[in-house]
């Protein structure tokens, strides 16, 4: 892959000019269906999570023309709460685990947390790559850990968070992407949202190219999840355009493309209202 930063920026600049998508309700609804609706706050408690789940349960009654979100993403101690209250079968339960967001603990603790999250109801588990070890070039240890966590996750889908905002260059993002996929990741994800910068267009461009190369070598489709700081419709559309351009339409579904966000859904709904001539701001979630 060409890691020339100027070339990457030029490609992204070109992709970001697709203004037609901004007024395309079908694409906006599609992006809504890619969202992992996320609540990962220190202040989260059971009542708050139940309220979020009930909003998802009632979403299509409130917005009958829109598809629901792809998943609800919470801390692992809330997996059981979501499982007990979620009534919408097409919405998955995702949890962060493996000592999120730093991935700094004993491997046995990480494996136990992942196993417990799945046992309590998680369909998907988002873990953080051992960034410190990766930056120290302990690649085999990082790969072995992901493989063991993949086993602990069982049938649940494993999303590996790279935390691209702390990486020194484009090559390291590419290397971390390939290492994660080769070690068993079902998705690769940009960031925890706890480090600045979080998701960036450059990182997703590199990660999607790594996914494309991995697919060409293995025939295995790996998903992509930008997450962290994605708030506006415009941001979401640029990520959509990158995935469409690099990977193609086969990835434009929530089996292989997710966006981790908490405020984006309301902004998409508000924009859909605007297209229909309604100026009311939506504050559903």
Active site residues: 126, 189, 225
Is the Cα torsion angle 90, 73, 206, 130 positive or negative in sign?
negative
Helix axes of 170-182 and 139-153: crossing angle, nearest 10 degrees: 40
The vertex-16 CA angle with 208 and 186, nearest 5°, equals 20
Q: Which residues pair with 94 in a beta bridge?
A: 73, 124
- Angstrom distance (rounded) from CA 262 to CA 251: 22
Q: Which two structure tokens, joined as six digits, stand for 217?
A: 């070598």
Q: Apex CA 44: angle with CA 38 and CA 47, to 5°?
A: 100
Between CA 61 and CA 55 the distance in angstroms is: 10
Q: What per-residue string of b and e applies to 43-61 under the rule 16 or more CB within 10 Å gives b?
A: eeeeeebbebbebbeebee
- Please provide the DSSP assignment of 193-242 as one string: SSSSS-S-HHHHHHHHHHHHHHHHHH----EEE-BSS--SHHHHHHHHHH
Give the position of tokens 């193609």: 248
- Both tokens of 126, joined, read 């988002």
């Amino acid at each position: 892959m060409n890691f020339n930063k100027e070339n990457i920026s030029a490609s992204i600049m070109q992709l970001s000019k697709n203004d037609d998508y901004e007024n395309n309700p079908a694409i906006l609804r599609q992006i809504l269906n890619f969202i992992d609706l996320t609540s990962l706050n220190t202040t989260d408690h059971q009542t708050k999570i139940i309220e979020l789940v009930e909003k998802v349960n009632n979403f299509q009654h409130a917005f009958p023309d829109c598809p629901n979100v792809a998943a609800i993403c919470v801390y692992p101690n809330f997996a059981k709460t979501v499982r007990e209250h979620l009534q919408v079968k097409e919405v998955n339960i995702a949890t962060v685990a493996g000592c999120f967001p730093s991935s700094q603990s004993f491997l046995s603790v990480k494996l136990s947390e992942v196993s417990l999250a799945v046992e309590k109801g998680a369909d998907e588990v988002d873990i953080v790559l051992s960034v410190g070890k990766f930056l120290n070039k302990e690649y085999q240890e990082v790969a072995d850990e992901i493989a063991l966590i993949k086993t602990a996750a069982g049938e649940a889908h494993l999303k590996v968070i790279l935390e691209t905002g702390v990486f020194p260059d484009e090559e390291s993002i590419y290397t971390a992407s390939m290492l994660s996929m080769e070690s068993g990741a079902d998705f690769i994800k940009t960031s925890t949202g706890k480090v600045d910068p979080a998701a960036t267009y450059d990182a997703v461009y590199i990660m999607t190219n790594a996914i494309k190369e991995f697919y060409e070598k293995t025939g295995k489709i790996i998903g992509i999840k930008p997450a962290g700081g994605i708030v506006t419709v415009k941001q979401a559309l640029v990520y959509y355009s990158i995935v469409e351009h690099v990977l193609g339409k086969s990835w434009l579904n929530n089996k292989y493309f997710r966006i981790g966000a908490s405020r984006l859904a309301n902004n998409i709904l508000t924009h859909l209202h605007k297209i229909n001539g309604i100026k009311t701001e939506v504050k559903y979630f």
